[in-house]
Every structure is written in structure tokens, then in C-alpha cells.
Structure 1
Amino acid sequence: MLKSYLKTAWRFLLKNKTFSFINIIGLATGTLCCLYILLYVQDQYNYDKQHKGVENTYRVTTDLELTGDKHHSGASSPPITPAMRNDFAEVKQFTRVVTTEKFGAKQHLLRYKEKSFYEKDALFVDSTFFDVFSYHFVSGSATSALTEPYSIVLFKPVADKLFGSENAVGKMISIDNSFGKHDYKVMGVVDESLGKSHIHGNMYIAMNSGGFGESVRRNDAWAGNNFLYAYIKLRPDASAAALEKKLPEFLNKYAAQQLKAIGMKKVLHLQPVNSIHTTPGFENELSKTLDPKFLFLLILIAVMIQVIACINFMNLSTARASKRAKEVGVRKVIGAGKGDLIKQFLGESFLLAFIGVAIALPLLILLMPYLNQVTRADIQLDFFSNYKIWIMLLSLVAVTGLVAGSYPAFYLSAFEAIKVIKGNFTSQVSATGIRKSLVVFQFVLSIVLVTGIIVIYSQLNYIKNKDLGFDKNQKLIFNFYTEASQKKMAAFTNDLKELSEVKAVNNADNYLGQFVPHDHGVFLAGGNMAAAVDAQNINTDEHFVKANGVSLISGRDFRLNDTNRVLINETLAKRLGLDVQKAPGTRLYSQYDGKPATFVEVAGVMKNFNYNSLHSEVRPFMMVYQNDPGYFNCMLVSVGSSNYKTLLDKISAVWRKDFPEVPFEYTFLDTEVQKQYETEIMLSQIINSFTMVAIVISCLGLFGLAAFSAEQRSKEIGIRKVLGASVTGIVQLLSTDFLKLVIIAFVIATPLAWWGMSKWLQDFEYRVTISWWMFALAGILAVIVALFTVSFQAIKAALMNPVKSLKAE
């Protein structure tokens, strides 16, 4: 029986090539997109699932409040987790992670024999790191990997570059960065074959390696210094919720005095490690996180595309009901029951879904590099070890076949045998209304997606062109990663100033558009740290204002040797209760660890500028003058030439003179600022790509329906032409019904799109206003696409010789 159903289905597909082509291409394209999105979402939710005992592993996060400023941080203070290990029997082990990038060591010069190159993503970790987290050791052992001082574990690609096919374990390498130059012993090489983690490093350096790592180990700041990532592993029988309830008393025991001294409120929480990658909203994250709302949106897009493809099948199947009505009648007369017919038609649907998957798989393999580029992912198709891929494929065939084939199966099987044999093709189930509703539904989805593209593009364009309060254009950024290169920054600065194209050079410990790791509380004379305002800050020389194009409201710019002077922004002045015009000359005080208060003097007040992303409002901020080159590790060069090739050739020559052993690397400030919106740019590219797919599939279905409608009305068209109807009139006649459906879809889609995009824009403190023209443009595009699709068939039908269609009459 099954063989008979398959044979009949195959013959029908071969006989109706246009019908089959439209459905197979639509289902294959939809399946390709749907499968990739499912694989991408699975990949994002699989982060940190591989760690042994991960269900009992937690990160200690911190909620801070200082004079009204609230911070929800993924980091915490150094002494917290060691004390938890000592005080709570529930805590089996702890470990801490510190990224060097946020403290100036963004790149590290690695040397082994004659080989040398720069690498980033270095982490200082406790010796217990591999007790808490599971990584696959290609060589070496997790047990003793980081117990010795100056020991290091390398990520496999880095080890391969250094040692090639040699065994890396036991080898000594040199690492030179802004913390100094040291030799390290390689104790292991790891890869990510067990799974991806939010803790990704190219180098895992033992914390007990002197210098910066040792300062972390000795740090006893319970209130401030919330800069490291702390993790605990609980015993299997322990309750994280019960332990979290004990943390306020624990914190009060150790931190009460320090918190009171600086006027800070602090609350500790435990966050499951396997939820970190998909839990946004934390400040000071170790790695990029993804919002589950974004992943849900991707799944929604995948479902929408697949549903649009299924709707094509339903519409074309029911539209061609008259072609199969006599077949149904004959089958019923010779004894086929309704159930048999339902099985037959569902079998055809499953066969189409299977063919669609069979075509989608090789296309997915071929297009995987492009799709990974769009989503900034690294999805790999592993059919042998990843059984979930097979579950996804079988589920897609089953769900698609059932959804696409259910209505046509019940519709066709409902024909009464006697009536259809006599030529009456009516069914108890109304098809025309359902078909129109499904076409409307298709275009509702397409118009919502097109509106999303328009709003997202408008927001990204707004971000790109908004006046941030500083000049990000024609600015070159140079980073200095080693102590030796930092010492030569002054000489390089002087050489650059000799170039006519260079307008200004600014040395600092950070540049605008980047995460600012430094902050401290400041208060006015007569106050204390309990009333302090927390201000983020950057250390800089006297050229910051000129080089960055920042405006001063009052006071003056920095001068050479302007010791203990600061420039503050409007927000900080207002939070301190200062009149921005009278603020210059005011002393700002800070006090820590019971030491006498220190002060700086306000030289000037800067007009507010968005030194961080437009997702958040401008916070209190100040520039701190430094004349010690040891504070600086980056340089901003403001240039007056757009002929970058010639200019960079000149700068490269100066660089080779001053830094003969250091590779010439640079970036542009506007590029770095734009990187703050990578998620939005990626979302835009994803929606652009998949919306095009959805529109193409919708048009395929509309094309098929238009062709069928023209075929059904061929005699009517012939009579109208004989009676004098023009081609334009006939095209209008055939197009009007479909355009009405698109207009109805536009009316339904508009409020849905407005609601969805309003929600998305809420994540931005600074955003565009949703305007009527965005919806109008989406509607006009939908009408144009639909008109073009339908008109092709309408014009073809209108140009046919009426003799051919009327000769049977």
C-alpha cells in the first residue's frame, strides 16, 4: 500500500512540473533557512554545557549602588570567593579569572626561538581553574597545569603557531606585554572540542606568577575593585538558593567597614554558569552575550519562512482541486475510504518535504561559510557525532509534511464521489476563503519583516550619523602592547607631529567608544565617600580635547604639567550640585582604605558626549591629567587628510624607525565606535537575508496561483478579448484580486510591526521615532513585488490568442 501511495505521488509530481517545482524550491529554501537557524540557536544555548558538574557551578555577580548609581555587574572583588570556600561547607571549589585586556595588556608578544607574534585574549586564572571548568587537553594534564608559578596553558591554534608539530609541554616561551617581560613554562594545550565556553582564552596564565597576577591574589578590597570573574562549584547536595540567602550576612562580616567608608551598597548573587552566554544585561562582561529575545526572533523568522513555504503547498494543492476531483471520485467508487485518501495526500506532502530536505542539505553545506559570516558564528555540520541534527531533519520533514499536507488532504478527501464524477467539484470545505486568508497571512509576515528592515536600518543610520559630542572621523588609533614600546611613545609622538597631515596626537590609557575600566567616587569639600558620585575616568595628556574634538562649556583645557587637574562632563557637575559655569577651580575629593582624602581640581567642564554606546545614557565622567608616560598604552592621531594610503605609508616609515621589531598595526576610531553595535548590525544582516528568502517564497506561491487563475479563466479572457477588451484591462482584471489581498495584509501587518519594533527600540537610550513613512514604504514595496509577480502571468494570459482558448466552444 505504501509503495502504491509513493508511486502515485511520484507520478503526480512528474506530471505537474510547475506545481512540483514551486513547492519543492519553496520547501527546500525554507528548510535550508530553518535548519541553519535551529543549528545556530542550538549552538548558542550549548555554551558551557560541557563542564563536568556544571549544574552545580555558579558565577558570583554583584549589584552595586553608590549615591544613586546602580550597577548590575558580572564581576566581583578578589577576596570574595576564597572566603566563601573557607566559610561555607557547601562550596567545594572556587576559581577566579582576570582578563588582561581591560588593564592595558591587549596584545602579548610571544616568542619561542626564532618565532614571534602578537596574540590577544590572555587570562590570569587561579590554579584551580581546570578543577572547576572542563577543557580537552590535547597535551598535558589538567591536574597540575597551573600549580607552578609562571606556568601557562595555550589554546591549540596558538601552540601550533609557536611549536608546529613539536610537543609544547615543558617548553619555555617569552611573553612581553605592558606588565613587563617574563618567561613561562607551557604545561598544557587545550582546544574547544568538548564545547564552547564563555571563558575563551588563547592563554591561561597562572595567577601566582608575580606582578599583576600576584597583586590580584593579595588584593583585600571587599567593596571596590569589582574587576574579576569569580566562580564556585558547590557540592552535589548543596542548594544555591540556600547559600545565596547567607551571602548578605557573609558580606556584612567582611565588608561592612569598607562599604560604609565609601557609602556603597553591595549585594552578591549566584548565576548558573550554563546560563551566562544567553543572559544579557550585566555590565563588565567577560565575553559577548546574546539576548534570548534575539534567539527567539530568529526562531520566529525560521518558523515564518517555513510556514510561508507550507502555505504555498496548501494554496496550490487546493487550487488544483478540480484537476484531482475525478481521481478522488474514481478511487472512492472502487472502494477507497476517506482515511485512505488522507494517507495518500499526506504521503505526497511528506514526499515533497523529504525532497525539499534532500535538496536543502547540500545547499546548506555549500552556503554554510556565507551564513556563518552573516551570523558571526562558526557552525559546523557534524552528521556523525551530532545526533540532534538528525532529530532536526526528521522533525522538519514530519512537521512540514503534516502542516503543508493536512488541509489539502482533508479538503480533497471530502469530495463526494457521485458529484465529482458528474462534474460538480464543490466540497463541504470552503477553499477560496482559506486560500485568500493564507495569501494574506503570507504577506502579513513579509510586510512585518520588511518593516523591521526599514526600522533597523533607520536606527543604525541614526547611530552612524548622530552627533556623539566628539569627532570620530579621520582618527587613527595605535595600541602599544609592551613595556618597551610604551617607553618609545613620546619619540613616536614627536615624529608624527613633523608630518603636515597630522593635526593632533593624544596619548591615553583608553579611547572613546571602548569599555572604561576605571572609576572612583568623588565628593566636594566637607563631604565624604558616603555622598560620593561614582565617575568613570580616563588618564590622558594635555591634547585630549583638541585631538577628539570635544567642546568645553567652561574653564580651560589641560596644560603641560597640569598635575592634579581633571576635566569633568556636565553630568558629573550636575550630580555634584555644581553650576557648570562656576565649576572650574572646584576641588573634588576621594578617600579609600582609611587613608587621608586626596583631591583633584576641576580645570574645565566638557559638554556631554557619548563616550559609550547609545544603548545607555551619559554617565558621570572625567579626564584625569597625567604626565607620566607609564599610564599610557594607546594613541589617537587626528589627521587632516583623506588620502590614507599616502599618509599611512608615511606613518609606517616613522613606525619602522621607532619600533623596528613591532608590527605596524592601526585601526580607525569610527570603526571602533561602530563595533559597539555589532549585535544590531548582525540582526540587520540576518533579517535582510531571510526576509529576501521569505519574499521570494511568497512570490513563488503567488506566481503559481496567478498562473492557475489565468488558466482557469482562459475562456473568460478569450471572450473579453473578442468583445474588445484591451490587454491593460485584462491585466488589471487578473491583478486586482491579488492586490486587494496584499492591501488587507498591509492593514493587519502595520500594528504588529509597530508593536514589535517599538519593543526592540526600547533597548536604546537614544533612538529614532517610528514614523508613518516606514510602514508606507513597506506596503508600497509589497504591492510592487506582488504586482510584478502577478502581472507576468496576467500579461502572458492577456496576450494569448483567443482562438486557442475558445476553439473547444
Structure 2
Amino acid sequence: MFKNYLKTSIRSLLKNKTFSFINIFGLAVGTLCCIYILLYIEDQYSYDKHHNNVQDIYRITSSLASKGEKHNMSTASPPIAPALKNDFAEVKQFTRLVTTIGAKQHLLSYKEKSFYEQDAVFVDSTFFDVFTYHFVNGKSLKVLDEPYSVVLLKPVADKLFGNEDPVGKVIEINNTYGKNNFKVTGVVDESFGKSHIKANMFIAMNSGGMGEYVRQNDAWAGNNFTNAYVKLQPNTNVAALEAKLPQFLQSHGAQQLKTFGFDKQLHLQPVSSIHTTTGYEAEMTKTVSPSLLYILLLIAVLIQVIACINFMNLSTARASKRAKEVGVRKVIGAERKDLIKQFLSESFLLSLVGVLIALPLLLLALPFLNRITGADIQYSFLANYRLWFLLAGIVVITGLIAGSYPAFYLSAFQAIKVIKGNFTNQISAAGIRRSLVVFQFVLSIILIAGIIVIYSQLRYTENKDLGFDKNQKLVFSFYTQDTKSKMQSFADDLRGLAEVKNVSKANNYLSQFVINDMGVYLAGGNMANGTNVQFMITDEYFAKANGIKIISGRDFHLYDSGKVLVNETLLKRLGLTPEKAIGTRLYSKFDPDPEFYSEIAGVMKDFNYNSLHDEIRPFMLAYSQNESMFSHLIVATDSKNYQALLQKIKAIWQKDFPAVPFEYTFLDDEVQKQYETEITLSRIINSFTLMAIIISCLGLFGLAAFSAEQRRKEIGVRKVLGASIFNLTTLLSSDFLKLVAIAIVIATPVAWWAMSKWLQSFAYRIDISWWMFAIAGLVAVLIALVTVSFQSIKAAIANPVKSLRSE
């Protein structure tokens, strides 16, 4: 019986090659998109799932609230994790991790080999007790017990040692903390799975530098810069433990919290959810928004649904051709269930062929799709057994959805009426086809409107006046004491170039996360009623180099120690006016140190030093002459030939830093990187909307061809009676354009609502305008018109004699 169904299905597909191609190609493209999006989503949710007993591993996060401001930090104060282990039996183990703040690049040396490497972290000796890594060399226990020991990621070890066994070898690491020798105690790779922790070197916490600062730190209120983790005992009631944390924090840090004057709360976040949770500041690596993944999942489903709609539409459209087949089968004894099985088997066959074609297409398109999404999905996904269950599910679900209506519709024809030529059904097939076409174009119009709104917001972020000049700025970074000592000489040399307008030194540059903050208050106040302010440490050229406007007072002068420039937002919080603020002292205090103050030299016009996602916060620039505080050089240029300018700068660099690679970045590129998530979303929606439109057009093309064929004799009669090609094309196209018009009416409010929700993630955003949806509707009309007109014109110019010959 199955063999008979299969033969009949193949014969039907071959007999109707055009419709079969449209269905199979549409299903293949839809399935390709669907599979890739599902693989991408699974990849994003796979982070940190490989750690042993991952369900018991939690990150300690901090919520800080002061004067209406609330900040959710992914980090905690240094002593919190060890104290949790000491105070609560529920905590089995703890570990801390801290990035090498101010030391992004590290010069690694072994024998004659020497190169720069990024992403070194200080970790407690318990790190590999909490997190699971695959050790290629060395043992996971006690590898970080000794001071100045280091575990390397395999690519770094390979570059340093080649085929040598790295364990026991001593390497030199030169960074902002100085030159130190480290003993390699292990080599790990990431073969077990991906992690939110991005590190090439794991340095023992008891190795000086930032690690020693963490070990000695006793700040319970401030200094929230440590990535802290706890591993709980099995079956711990996490909610009950978290409920004890307020009292725990008060028992250790009540006085500090009172002095600082802000509310602090601790929370436990499952490690396995870190990568797919947003809203935390100071994340180690870029996280992915769950809403983005939900949008992608929705797009995957919609594209597959659009492909299924094509099948349903074309199958019901062909019902008239197969009506007599149904009638004859019923007359010779076929029951309705046999016909349902027959038509569903055709649907499953089409779905299977579509999936089988989609797989090799996906393999070919994988590099391109990875570039669009920024993912690194490998060909090894074919070895994932879940993929094959997924494919089987797609075949079954697609086959059922796409074939259910045609199967039940066609099998319901009454044999006598069908053989007599009357095969109407109680349910209007034409009405259902129109509804499905409308649904297809509703989805397409929503996606097109999404493209327009996202593009407009990205253009807004590019062109908005941020309050500083991001254009024609070069940024050079220095990460070792040797290079920092020569920063001034390099800056002086750059000032000798005619194309260089200004050069400034700073501990950070605009668009980067501001790591420094403190509470400030006016005379007579205290930290309890202070205002939290973010700040950067700069020289006297920073405001000029970045085009920051001074609206009151003056810019920094040489030897301006103790002076600060403040923004308007800070003044508003302090209740000062720009005119009266000049000369005002801002006090601060960190126990047990004595109170100190800074004096306002000038007031800066508010500017967006961070992403447009965030509102402008209290901010200031603090003047310093301490060269060791600076890590970056911002170079303002005025050149129309950047290649020539960069060659000149490179020559100076090689003179001042002969052993250091020439590396730089453009400030406007760094600003734009703040919107990587939106740029990725834009690329994804652009690409998959194009796929959805192609599939929709295929279905519309097939329906237009069917409609033209059904009305062939009507067209012949009209031509004989004098109808023009334009009249006939308009007649055949108008029915479809009416459906698109209905789709525009339905899609517009839905798209408006969806895009309004998306824009809420920006503190500074565009206003949604009617023309965005008008363009989306116009694009849909043009797509439909071009698709339908081809068949309409073809039918209109056909020889009427051929169509009327049988009459």
C-alpha cells in the first residue's frame, strides 16, 4: 500500500513540474532558514551548560540604588564570595575572577618567542573546582595554588611552546603591573563547551597586581568589580538562601553602606542563564537578548508557515484538475481515509524532499549565515542527534500543516457531482486561498516595516549629535609600563604632524564602559546623601581633542591638580547652576581615609559618553599629571588622505616603540560597536525577510499562473471583443492587489506596536512615522505587482485562437 502511495505521489509531482518546483524550492528555502535559526538559538542557549553540576553554580550580582537611580551589576565586592562560603553551610565552594583592569594587552615571552595576547584574568585557586574545563596538559586540581602560576588556553600555549610540553615552563608576562615570571601549570581548551568567561590566561590570584588588590580588599559597599561565583550544595533552596543575603550584607558592611548612602542588594544568578540575560552592567562578554532569540524563533516559524501556505494554496488551486481523479477513485471503492492518506503522503514526500535539499544548501550557505549573525556554528552540527529529531519533526509538522487542508478538502468531494463536473464544496477553497495570501503578505509587510524602523534608528545613532566629535579620531592604547613611559614622547612627536590637531592622554576613551565612579557631596554633606558620579582621568587636552563644549568656567590648564570638569546632569543633581558652580568644592570620603575634595573648574554641556540605550548620568573629567594613570592616547586629526597620515604615524610609532605592533582604532568605529546587537538584528531581519519575500513571491507566482490558466477562455473572448493588453493585465492583477491592500491594513497596527516595543530599549530614539509603513506597503504592492504581472501579461498577449479552439 505504501509503495502504491509513493508511486502515485511521484507521478503526480512529475506531472506538475512547475507547481512541484515552486513547492519544493519554497520548502527547501524555508527549511534552510528554519534549521539555521534553530541551530543559532540552540547555540546561544548552550553556553555554560557543560560545567559539572551546573545547576548548583550561581553568580553573585549586585543591585545598587541611590536617589532614584538603580544599577544592576554583574559583579560584587571582593570579600563577599569568601564570606558566603564561611557563613553559610549551603555554599560548597566559591571562586572569584577579575579582569586585568587597565592591562588589556600582555607581552608574553618564552626564549626567543614574544607576542602580545589579550584576555588575561586573575582567578582564585578554587576556580577549576567550580568550573569545568578540559585539561590538555597538567591536572585540574591545585594548578593555581602556588603564587605566580598560570594556566594557558591551548592556542596561546601552542604559539609559545609549539610541540613542547608547557607544564613546568616559566614565561615572562609584561603588562601594566610590570614584568613578572610565571610558571605554566596547565593548558586547557574549550572543547567541553562555550562559556561566558572569556580568557586566554588564568593567573593565580596570589600573584601581585590586581589579584593582590582583590585579596586584600575589604570593601563591602563599593568596589563592585569582582566576578564572584558560588557552588551550592546539591538540592539547596536557592530562594531561601537569597532571602538571607540582606542580613548577611548588613552584618558585614552596615557602616560602609551607611557611609556610602546607597541601597545595595545581592542576588544569585544561575550561571547557565548568564549568556541569555541582558540588563547587567560590566559583563565580561557580550550577552544576547532573549527578545532577539524570541524574534528569531518567530521568524523561523513564520518562514516555515509561509512555505506551508504556498503548498496549501497551490494544492487547493489544483483541486479542480484532480477532482475527477478523486471521483473515479471513490467510484471504484476508495474510502475517504484512503484519499486522505494519499494526499498526506504527497505532502510528506514534498516536505522530505524539501528538507533533503535544504541540508546541502545549508552547508553551502553556512559561512554566509554565520557572518550575518556573528555566530560560529560549525559543520559538526550534523553529528548532533537532536538535529535529526528536529528534521524529522519539521518533515512531519510541515507535512501535516501543508497537506492537511488539501487532503481533507479534496477527499470530501462527492463522487457523482465531481464526475458530472460539479465539485463545489461547502468550504470555499478560493476564500481560504485568499486568506492565506493575505496572511503571507501581513507577515512580509511586518518584516519590511521592521527593516525600515531598525534602519532608521541605526541611522539616528550614527547621525545624532552626541555632544562630542567622534569623527577623525584615532585611539592608541598602551598596556605595559615600558610603553606608558614613552607615551609623552610619542604624543609630542604626533603634535609635529600638520594633520594632527590635538593629542590627549586618558585612562579611558568615550564610548567605552566607564569603570570609575564615586559619591560626591557639597560642603556640609556626607556620603550618605552624596550623588554617584562616573569619571575619567585625563590631561588638559581631552575636552579639546574630543570636541566637548565648555558652557561655563574654563577648560583644564597645565598643573590643574584637584580640578574637575562636570556635566550639566551632575549640577542638576547637586542643585547648582552652571554660573555658580565654578570654584565649588565636591567632597568625597572612603573609609578609613580622610575626606578629600575636588574643585569645579568648568561645566561641560551634556554629551552621550555611553550608548544611546542609556540616559546621560552624572559625569566628570578629573585632571591628573600622573602618567601611570593613562592607558590611551586620543589623536584628533584633520586629513583627507588617511593612508598617507597613517604611514607617517607608523614611522613615528616604530621609532618610539620598535618592538611593539602598530595597532590603533577609530573612535567612530568604537562608538558604532555599542550597537552591535541592533546591527546584527538588522542583518538577520534583512536576510530572512528577503527569504520570506522570495517564498511568498513563488506562491503568488504559482497562483497567478493558475488563475491565468483558469481564465484562459475568458481572456480569449475579451480579446476578441476588443480588450487591450493593459485592460486584461489590470483585470488579472487587481484581485491579488486587493489582497495586498487588505494585508497592509492588518499589518500596519501590528508592526507599529512591535516596533514601538523594540524602540523602548533606547533612551534616545526616533519617532515612528506613518511614512515608514506607507513605504512597507508600497514595497509589498510593487513585489506583488511584479510577480503577478508577469503571468498576467503572458496570458494577455496569448493568441485567443488557441484558447478558443476547443469551443
TM-score for both structures, normalised by structure 2: 0.99
Counterpart contact for 1:574–1:580, Cα < 8 Å: no
Select which of 513, 531, 540 maps to 1:515: 513
Query: What is the SS of the residue equivalent to 1:618?
Result: coil
- Which residue of the other structure, out of 428, 438, 441, is the alignment partner of 1:440? 438
Report the 3-state secondary structure (helix = DSSP H, G, I; strand = E; otherwise coil) of the residue aligned with 2:580.
coil
Structure 1 residue 575, shift from structure 2 partner: 0.6
Aligned residue type for 1:42: E
Q: Which residue of 1 aligns with 2:475?
A: 477
State the Cα distance separating 1:157 from its structure 2 match.
Answer: 1.7
- Provide the secondary structure at the position in 2 that maps to 1:701: helix
Q: Secondary structure at the match of 1:365?
A: helix
> Aligned to 2:211, which of 213, 219, 222?
213
Q: 1:151–1:385: structure 2 CA closer, same or farther, 3 Å change rule?
A: farther
How far is the alpha carbon of 1:483 from its aligned partner? 1.1
Matched letter for residue 704 of structure 2: A
Whole-Å separation in 1 of the counterparts to 2:786 and 2:749: 26
1:337 aligned to which of 330, 335, 338 = 335
Q: Corresponding residue for 1:48?
A: 48
Identity %: 68
Match of 1:348 in 2: 346
Instruction: Name the residue aligned to 2:18.
Output: 18
Superposed CA offset, 1:425-460 (max 9, x none):
212332010000000000000000000000000000
Amino acid at match of 1:251: L
Q: Counterparts in 2 of 1:314-325, with a 5 A limit?
A: 314-325=312-323
Deviation at 1:391, TM superposition (A): 1.4
Q: Deviations over 1:131-158 (max 9, x none)?
A: 0011111222111221111111111222
The C-alpha deviation readout for 1:357-393, integer Å capped at 9, x for no partner, is 1111011111111111111111123256421111111
2:7 corresponding residue in structure 1:
7
1:285-310 C-alpha deviation (Å, 9 max, x unpaired): 12211111110000000111110000
Shift of 1:69: 2.5
The amino acid across from 2:431 in the alignment is G
The reply on whether 1:802 has 2:800 as its aligned counterpart is yes
Distance 2:117 2:766 in 1: 39
Aligned to 1:39: 39
Equivalent residue in structure 2 for 1:638, among 625, 636, 639: 636
Compared with structure 1, are the counterparts of its residues 383 and 462 closer, same or farther at alpha carbon in structure 2 (3 Å cutoff)? closer
After the TM superposition, which of the residue ranges 344-353 and 160-169 deviates more from structure 2? 160-169
Larger mean Cα displacement after TM superposition, 111-120 or 526-535: 111-120
Match of 1:86 in 2: 86
Separation in 2, partners of 1:381, 1:397 = 21
Structure 1 residue aligned with 2:466: 468
Once residues 179 and 413 of structure 2 are traced to their aligned partners in structure 1, the CA distance between those partners, rounded to angstroms, is 84
1:306-705 superposed matches below 5 A: 306-382=304-380, 385-705=383-703
Instruction: Identify the range of structure 1 (467-476 vs 55-64) with the bigger mean alpha-carbon deviation.
Output: 55-64
Q: Per-residue displacement from partner, 1:297-337 (whole Å, max 9, x unpaired)?
A: 00000111110000000000000001111111111111111
For 1:405-441, what per-residue CA distance to the aligned partner results, in whole angstroms no more than 9, with x for missing partners?
A: 1111111111111111122221233201000000000
* SS of aligned partner of 1:382: helix
CA contact (8 A) 1:338 1:414 kept: yes
Q: State the alpha-carbon separation in 2 of the partners of residues 466 and 383 from structure 1.
A: 42
Deviation per residue, 1:5-37 (Å, 9 max, x gap): 111101111111000000000000000000000
The residue type paired with residue 772 of structure 1 is W
What are the equivalent positions in structure 2 for 1:154-173 lying under 5 Å apart? 154-173=152-171
The answer on whether the counterparts of 1:69 and 1:534 sit within 8 Å (CA) in structure 2 is no
Tell me, in whole angstroms, the C-alpha distance in 1 between the residues paired with 2:362 and 2:184: 40
Match among 231, 243, 261 for residue 233 of structure 1? 231
SS of the residue aligned with 2:565?
Answer: strand
In 2, distance between residues paired with 1:177 and 1:309?
A: 56
Distance (Å, rounded) in 2 between the aligned partners of 1:212 and 1:86: 23
The aligned amino acid for 2:123 is V
Whether 1:96 and 2:132 are equivalent positions in the alignment is no
Name the SS of the counterpart of 1:470 in structure 2: coil
Q: Residue type of the partner of 2:800?
A: P
For 1:461, the aligned partner's letter is R
In the alignment, the residues of structure 2 paired with residue 132 and residue 690 of structure 1 have an alpha-carbon distance, to the nearest angstrom, of 40
Where 2:183 maps in the other structure, the secondary structure is: strand
Alpha-carbon distance in 1 for matches of 2:219, 2:780: 60
Question: For residue 558 of structure 2, what is the amino acid of its counterpart?
Answer: L
Q: Which amino acid aligns with 1:487?
A: S
Kindly indicate whether the alpha-carbon contact (under 8 Å) linking 1:67 and 1:530 is maintained by their aligned counterparts in 2: no
Which amino acid in 1 is paired with 2:491?
Answer: T
Q: Which amino acid aligns with 2:77?
A: S
Q: Aligned partners of 1:645, 1:279: CA distance in 2, in Å? A: 41
Which letter does structure 1 place at the counterpart of 2:609? Y
Aligned partner of residue 663 in structure 2, secondary structure: coil
Q: CA deviation at 1:604?
A: 0.2
1:416 and 1:233 map into 2 onto residues whose CA distance is 69
From 245, 250, 253, the equivalent of 1:252 is 250
Which amino acid in structure 2 is aligned with residue 747 of structure 1? V
**Aligned mates of 2:799, 2:372 — CA distance in 1:** 49
More off after superposition, 25-34 vs 325-334 = 325-334
1:730-809 aligned within 5 A: 730-809=728-807
Paired residue for 1:199, among 197, 214, 221?
197
